Amino acid sequence: MPYLKKLLLLLFYMSPVLVNAQSTQDIYLGNEAYRFFGGLVCGANFSQVDGDTYSGYNKVGLNAGAMVYTRLSSNFGASIEFNYTQKGSHGVSSTASPALGAYVSDYRLKLNYVEVPVILHILTDRRLHYEAGASYAQLLNFSESIYSDPGMNIDPNIFYFRKTDICIIGGLCYQFYNWWFIEGRYQYSLVTIRDAQRIPIGGPVQYNNLFSIRLIRFLNKQASKS
């Protein structure tokens, strides 16, 4: 989605201006008296699957859960999350045939995971930090379909996915009000999400590829002293 890339680029280029603004808000990363903080996360994934012959971050899904953040030093922090996250793919293609004329196919893939990201936070400012880490996800369920002429049936008992997904993560997080944060995050699978013989469309490998935009709300700035 071009507009999603533009939004993330805008957030990145505006960040030096935003962090220079004066604020009297509490800064959880700058609170030297406390080390651990809990929070809630809610946002959206914009996903595609590399290797399925379709392009574009057209599959929109939920990304929500809880996190625990710990301050390691004045310049570093770390967090662990427990999230429900929806990945997948959505693509539409049109084919012209001299014999059959034009026909359209509509492909939809939904992958629902429980995911545990472990993230290192690099503080460049009291209100801004960069993120890098990895995640482990367990597949809960999936659905895959394609509507086309001629029709095609995708049997989930034959064309199934791996139960786990391991991803690398990079992102940028900014405190915009009090204990509210907005985050842009990119995520990509390190290993294929489906074995080659299980792929009905595309191949020989497939990877989750997605952007996320999320809101983070820390619940209690005085939850635990260091």
* Angle (nearest 5°) at CA 73 between 68 and 78: 30
Predicted local distance difference test score (pLDDT) of residue 226: 37
Q: How far apart are CA 220 and CA 41, in angstroms?
A: 14
In this structure, are residues 52 and 89 in contact, taking their beta carbons and an 8 Å threshold? Answer: yes
In this structure, are residues 92 and 108 in contact, taking their beta carbons and an 8 Å threshold? Answer: no
Predicted local distance difference test score (pLDDT) of residue 71: 85
As a dihedral over the C-alpha atoms of residue 15, residue 40, residue 219, residue 33, rounded to 10 degrees, the angle is -60
Domain containing 145 — which CATH number?
2.40.160.20
Predicted local distance difference test score (pLDDT) of residue 33: 62
- pTM for the model stands at 0.80
Predicted local distance difference test score (pLDDT) of residue 16: 47
Predicted local distance difference test score (pLDDT) of residue 126: 72
Predicted local distance difference test score (pLDDT) of residue 105: 80
Q: Nearest Cα to 51, choosing from 166, 192, 211, 210? A: 192
pLDDT per residue of the chain (226 residues) written in tens, 0 to 9: 554 455 545 545 544 444 443 343 444 555 556 688 899 999 999 999 999 988 899 999 999 999 999 988 878 899 999 999 999 999 987 766 555 556 668 899 999 999 999 999 998 877 888 999 999 999 999 999 988 766 677 888 899 999 999 999 999 999 888 788 999 999 999 999 999 999 987 778 999 999 999 999 988 654 334 3
Q: Domain containing 77: what range?
A: 2-225
Bridge-based pairing state of the strands 207-218 and 34-50: antiparallel
Total number of domains in the chain = 1
Predicted local distance difference test score (pLDDT) of residue 21: 39
Helix (H) or strand (E) holding 65: strand 59-71
Structure tokens at 29: 């990363």
